[in-house]
């Protein structure tokens, strides 16, 4: 970006002086044409093994090829994604630290937390909306329910007996469960974990019988029979699991999902954003990447920074009333 500014001011003493001044300002590095020249850190604000981690590692691997520098995934979970997102918001805005943002970090948490360590709009520079991902209601194979209707019957007969796991308080998976409870008129205890991976491990082990998970992280276990899928949370069935009904087929109007997008700290030079956007969208255009995302019914998007800006604002407006209706509130 600074290179184009200098070109426009070339030949004038004022332009030379301005260029020298900008070059010395802390936090405003002169952006080289050959960015990136060193590895880039992609912060995934949840534990390893969950959907966000899987998508992040898939995209990071392909972006590494596009950029010619390694994109290193760093898992930094906690506070429903707030810790990792806040770390990126406060990072040097040079393009070398970016965030795998989600509906939690940029739409749910602002409605859930009384105090946020960042602003979901002002603290970030949008890069690209990557994919929209279904959630799924799964149970341990030993659990005595094979359908959503049977689960509802069990919960109504013994409302204090059963519990469900999620990736943490206030996450999309937690709210998927709370919306289910509200719309089905049932009770079950919520057990939050520090990420979907640890929660899933306990469901697989039979420690907790029920979980709302992102479909990508449960897909392999569903196919192998280690988990039983009762329903997907999107309005229609997932293309990769056509035999698994939508929860909405039993509870009309029920719908939740998550999404993944790349963000950089606010103030990151436009030249860096442009290169990162091109690399991300090129990764999404790769047939191999598309095939892997399709395996768990993620809808590939790819967007401009402006389109992601608009998406975040729309999601904030959508989820705020849902969170209020759920009664969920975190300090």
Measured distance CA(140)–CA(123) in Å, rounded: 40
Residues 285 and 191: their CA atoms lie apart, in Å, by 38
* Domain closes at, from 200, 217, 249: 249
Cα distance between residue 204 and residue 71, in whole Å = 31
pLDDT per residue, tens digit, the chain (331 aa), is 334 433 443 443 344 333 433 444 444 445 557 899 999 999 999 888 877 898 999 999 999 999 999 999 999 998 889 999 999 999 999 999 999 999 999 999 999 998 999 999 999 999 999 998 889 999 999 999 999 999 999 999 998 899 999 988 777 888 899 889 989 999 999 999 888 889 999 999 999 999 999 888 898 999 999 999 999 998 889 988 999 999 999 999 998 888 999 999 999 999 999 999 999 999 999 999 999 888 767 889 999 999 999 999 999 998 888 788 777 777 6
- 196 is written with which tokens? 């979907």
Q: Is 232 inside a domain boundary?
A: yes
CB 180 within 8 A of CB 251: yes
Beta bridge partners of residue 41, listed in sequence order: 72, 97
What separation, in Å, do the N-terminal and C-terminal C-alpha atoms of the chain show?
Answer: 40
CATH assignment of the domain containing 145: 3.40.190.10
Task: Tell me how far apart the alpha carbons of residues 256 and 174 are, in angstroms, rounded to a whole number.
Answer: 11
- Domain, as residue range, for 289: 34-132+258-326
Q: Do 160 and 242 lie in a common domain?
A: yes
């Amino acid at each position: 970006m600074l290179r184009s500014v200098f070109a426009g001011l070339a030949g004038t003493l004022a332009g030379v002086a301005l260029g020298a001044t900008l070059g010395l300002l802390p936090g405003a590095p002169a952006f080289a044409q050959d960015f990136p020249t060193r590895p880039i850190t992609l912060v995934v604000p949840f534990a390893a093994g969950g959907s966000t981690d899987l998508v992040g590692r898939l995209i990071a691997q392909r972006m590494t090829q596009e950029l010619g520098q390694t994109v290193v995934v760093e898992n930094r979970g906690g506070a429903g994604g707030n810790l990792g997102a806040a770390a990126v918001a406060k990072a040097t805005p040079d393009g070398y630290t970016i965030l795998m943002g989600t509906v939690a970090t940029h739409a749910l948490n602002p409605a859930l937390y009384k105090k946020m360590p960042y602003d979901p709009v002002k603290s970030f520079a949008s890069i690209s909306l990557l994919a929209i991902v279904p959630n799924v209601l799964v149970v341990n194979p030993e659990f005595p329910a094979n359908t959503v209707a049977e689960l509802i019957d069990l919960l109504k007969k013994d409302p204090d007996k059963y519990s469900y796991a999620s990736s943490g308080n206030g996450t999309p998976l937690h709210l998927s469960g709370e919306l289910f409870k509200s719309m089905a008129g049932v009770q079950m205890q919520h057990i939050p974990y520090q990420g979907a991976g640890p929660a899933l491990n306990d469901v697989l082990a039979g420690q907790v019988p029920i979980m709302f998970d992102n479909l990508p992280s449960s897909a392999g276990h569903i196919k192998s029979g280690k988990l039983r899928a009762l329903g997907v949370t999107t309005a229609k069935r997932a293309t990769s699991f056509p035999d698994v009904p939508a929860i909405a087929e039993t509870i009309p109007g029920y719908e939740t999902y998550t999404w993944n997008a790349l963000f950089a700290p606010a103030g990151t030079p436009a030249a860096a954003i442009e290169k990162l956007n091109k690399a991300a969208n090129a990764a999404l255009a790769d047939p191999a990447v598309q095939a892997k995302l399709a395996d768990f019914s993620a809808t590939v998007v790819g967007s401009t920074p402006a389109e992601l800006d608009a998406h975040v604002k729309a999601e904030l407006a959508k989820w705020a009333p849902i969170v209020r209706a759920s009664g969920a509130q975190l300090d």
